[in-house]
Amino acid sequence: MGYYVAVEQNVNLYVEDLDPGNGKPVLFIHGWPVNHKMYEYQFNQLPQMGYRCIGVDLRGFGKSDRPWRGYSYDRLADDIRVVIDTLELENITLAGFSMGGAIAIRYMARYGADKVSKLALFAAAAPLFTRRPDYPYGMTKEQVNSLIQATYTDRPKMLNDFGDMFFASYVTEGIKDWMHGLGMEASGHATAMCAVSLRDEDLRRDLSAVSVPTAIFHGVQDKVCPYPFAEFMHAGIQGSELVPFLYSGHGLFYDELEKFNRELVSFLAK
């Protein structure tokens, strides 16, 4: 079922709760610039294995409200907290893809292990999305600035260009069109503002705050969040498990769909 959760005055987030009240809860946070529907091929399978899948559209994306402000990682993590409290969730697995993984890490830094028993990070845009003098991985700030500019001038082309480096394996034109459509459902302004957060936020100090069992799924061929991101997170999150996807790019949830679902269920069942 789908419903709205008020996270602050005049801002409501759309939540898709596949089997309310039944199964172990897994709260999925989507990546930039799509929405919760990116997890379709996980939501098709996990409920029949006893998991309550909850997808949230971040503010500005999917069916959620589109405020002008509020796109810092702190605010987005606080939104997730309101959803968790409103749904009265306990012992959840918090799962985040790309920017959603970064938000999940920031959530752990702000709220600790309260309400969360496990953390799953999928091609997370962390600890940094852009290069620094002491972090030579990822895009340059200039490249992200170009994404922001293109978002405000020709967002369909920006999404096409971004989509060209999303998957490593061959995917059908239908899948490409589907992902492009998810991106077009977003607010253009929210897309740009979250790109600013991706460009500027630094999660290196947040990693040590993660104190729950953590699985890091990452594509070795990822061109958006290169594999060294995963190695840095693995080193910074005590006791974490790193699961490489040898044949995957950024879209590992589809590049190696069967392995992704199998590894995720294995982690959830531990």
Residues whose CB is less than 8 angstroms from the CB of residue 183 and which lie 6 or more positions away in sequence, other chains included: 33, 34, 159, 162, 163, 191
Tokens linked to 238: 């005590």
- What's 116-180 look like in SS3? EEEEEEECCCCCCCECECCECCCECHHHHHHHHHHHHHCHHHHHHHHHHCCCCCCCCHHHHHHHH
The question of whether 266 is a catalytic residue gets the answer no
Phi, psi values for residue 199, rounded to 5°: -65, -40
The question of whether 98 is a catalytic residue gets the answer yes
Q: Catalytic pick from 57, 65, 222, 255?
A: 222
Q: Catalytic pick from 98, 187, 240, 248?
A: 98
Q: Catalytic pick from 17, 30, 250, 255?
A: 250
The question of whether 250 is a catalytic residue gets the answer yes
Neighbours of 223 (CB within 10 A): 14
Give me the active site residues, please: 98, 222, 250
